[in-house]
Amino acid sequence: MAVYVDDAIWNFAGRKWCHLMADSEEELHRFAARLGVHRSSYQGPPKTAAPHYDITGFERDRAIRMGALAVSRAEILAVYRGVRRPGEKQRRQLV
């Protein structure tokens, strides 16, 4: 199991933001709590397609120091879709 953060690329409220995701929702919530991100910041179904937290660039740096994997925008989209982990070839066949 892993936790991922993409590049902090979009601006909002004077800060740069990115996504925090994990291989499971449980892991995502545990990591976010350790990071100090409030559960009220969680975004997931049915509101959004993929469970995630939007975090600041500052929180991203802390998350990486805590063990989250820094991934590209393309890699985090693959995690969103559940098709493959970053750096892996497709791990399951889509029917």
Give Rg (Cα) of the chain: 13
pLDDT score at 7: 87
Read off the pLDDT of residues 54-94 as tens digits, 9 standing for 90 and up: 999 999 999 999 999 999 988 888 877 874 444 544 433 32
By the 8 A CB rule, do 39 and 52 touch?
no
The strand pairing partners of 20, in sequence order, are 5, 53
How much of the chain exceeds pLDDT 90, in percent?
Answer: 53
Q: Which residue has better confidence, 9 or 2?
A: 2
Give yes or no for residue 37 having a pLDDT over 50: yes
The pLDDT, as a whole number, for residue 60 is 95
Q: Residue 4: what pLDDT?
A: 96
